[in-house]
């Protein structure tokens, strides 16, 4: 049972009202958020440059800026909270926050329990090794140890391949582990690793023979909230149309990644 499946099983076993009764609370959810004047936005805080904690102990990055701008256009303050990635959907279903703006891939499995606004950017799964590593092909990973972030779709995929897997809290730990030789390769979204490696001066190489398709990163909200979804999508569409999205992307990731 993977981390995501465990989350859903736990929610179902507990009879979570937030999950099982989404249709009953959805009609009031947008109004309730607006009445409070605050949108609670979750992310891991461990995925630079998309979301991370800076030296001033502030959560910043591309995701944080996108979420804050969407909230602003809805007339709301953004309250950014960090939580472990493997429990983030469970937290959303338990009403601990209103949305996840954390570079979450839109997958069929996740669509069974949450709705998505977006996508607001696209990326691909990639496998990286250190420059000079003897591993130059995906076929060589059968005897290797790979690092992944706990609860990401990459963890489930790596286990399905039969790889020896080590799990970590986020991208900074992955980069440190491959640098120190405690894993032979890391599996993560290509854009995030390329940008983080460049920022930290690490020389990593993507295995070119991995066949994968681009996936969209979306903003997760609880199911049954068409009004909330429509207003958030409208704010995102306007950002992309008026140039604000590109300004944010240029600041944090060096260019448009739609």
Per-residue pLDDT reduced to its tens digit, 39-51 = 999 999 999 999 9
Residues 142 and 195 grouped into a single domain:
yes
Q: Nearest 5°: phi and psi at 57?
A: 65, 30
Alpha-carbon gap, residue 44 to 65, rounded angstroms: 14
The whole-number average pLDDT for the span 179-185 is: 97
Alpha-carbon gap, residue 3 to 17, rounded angstroms: 21
Residues 154 and 49 grouped into a single domain:
no
Q: At residue 11, does pLDDT exceed 50? A: no
Segment among 15-19, 25-29, 110-114 with least mean pLDDT = 15-19
Give yes or no for a contact between 155 and 164, defined as CB atoms under 8 angstroms apart.
Answer: no
Structural domain boundaries, residue 115? 3-122+215-253
The whole-number average pLDDT for the span 178-190 is: 96
Question: CA gyration radius for the chain?
Answer: 18
User: Tens of pLDDT along 200-217?
Assistant: 899 999 999 999 889 999
pLDDT of 28: 66
In a domain, 62, yes or no: yes
Count of the separate structural domains present in the chain? 2
Q: At residue 10, does pLDDT exceed 50? A: no
Where residue 27 falls among pLDDT bands split at 50, 70, 90? Answer: low
Residues 59 and 137 grouped into a single domain:
no
User: Tens of pLDDT along 226-246?
Assistant: 999 999 999 999 999 999 999
Residues 116 and 144 grouped into a single domain:
no
In a domain, 258, yes or no: no
Token pair 């390329």 is found at 194
User: Tens of pLDDT along 74-111?
Assistant: 999 999 999 999 999 999 999 999 999 999 999 999 99
User: Two tokens at 56?
Assistant: 């001033």
Q: How far is CA 100 from CA 23, 31, 41, 180, in A?
A: 19, 19, 6, 32
Alpha-carbon gap, residue 221 to 102, rounded angstroms: 12
Residues 93 and 151 grouped into a single domain:
no
Q: How far is CA 56 from CA 52, 100, 186, in A?
A: 11, 23, 29
Percent of the chain exceeding pLDDT 90 equals 86
- CATH assignment of the domain containing 193: 3.40.190.10
Give the E-state strand segments of 15-65 in sequence order: 38-43, 46-47, 51-53, 59-60
pTM of the model: 0.83
Alpha-carbon gap, residue 64 to 19, rounded angstroms: 25
Residues 117 and 25 grouped into a single domain:
yes
Going by their DSSP bridges, the two strands 164-168 and 145-149 should be labelled as parallel
Q: Nearest to residue 6, comparing CAs of 150, 106, 104, 125?
A: 150
The whole-number average pLDDT for the span 22-41 is: 79
Q: End-to-end alpha-carbon separation of the chain, Å?
A: 33
User: Tens of pLDDT along 133-161?
Assistant: 999 999 999 999 999 999 999 999 999 99
pLDDT of 41: 98
Where residue 1 falls among pLDDT bands split at 50, 70, 90? Answer: very low
Q: At residue 171, does pLDDT exceed 70? A: yes
Alpha-carbon gap, residue 35 to 187, rounded angstroms: 42
167 exposure class (CB count in 10 Å sphere: 0-12, 13-18, 19+): middle
pLDDT of 20: 41
């Amino acid at each position: 049972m993977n981390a995501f499946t465990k989350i859903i099983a736990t929610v179902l076993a507990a009879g979570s009202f937030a999950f099982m009764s989404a249709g009953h609370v959805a009609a009031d959810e947008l109004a309730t958020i607006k009445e409070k004047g605050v949108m609670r936005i979750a992310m891991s805080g461990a995925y630079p440059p998309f979301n991370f904690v800076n030296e001033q102990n502030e959560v910043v990055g591309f995701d944080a800026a996108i979420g804050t701008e969407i909230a602003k256009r809805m007339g709301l303050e953004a309250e950014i909270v960090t939580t472990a990635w493997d429990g983030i959907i469970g937290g959303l279903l338990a009403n601990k926050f209103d949305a996840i703006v954390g570079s979450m891939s839109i997958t069929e499995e996740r669509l069974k329990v949450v709705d998505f606004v977006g996508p607001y950017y696209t990326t691909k799964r990639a496998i990286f090794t250190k420059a000079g590593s003897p591993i130059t092909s995906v076929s060589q990973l059968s005897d290797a140890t790979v690092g992944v972030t706990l609860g990401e779709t990459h963890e489930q995929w790596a286990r399905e391949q039969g790889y020896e897997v080590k799990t970590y809290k986020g991208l900074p730990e992955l980069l440190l582990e491959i640098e120190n030789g405690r894993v032979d390769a890391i599996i993560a979204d290509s854009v995030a690793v390329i940008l983080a490696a460049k920022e930290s001066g690490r020389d990593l190489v993507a295995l070119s023979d991995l066949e994968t398709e681009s996936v969209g990163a979306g903003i997760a909200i609880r199911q049954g909230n068409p009004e909330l979804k429509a207003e958030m999508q409208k704010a995102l569409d306007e950002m992309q149309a008026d140039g604000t999205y590109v300004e944010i992307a240029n600041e944090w990731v060096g260019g448009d990644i739609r």
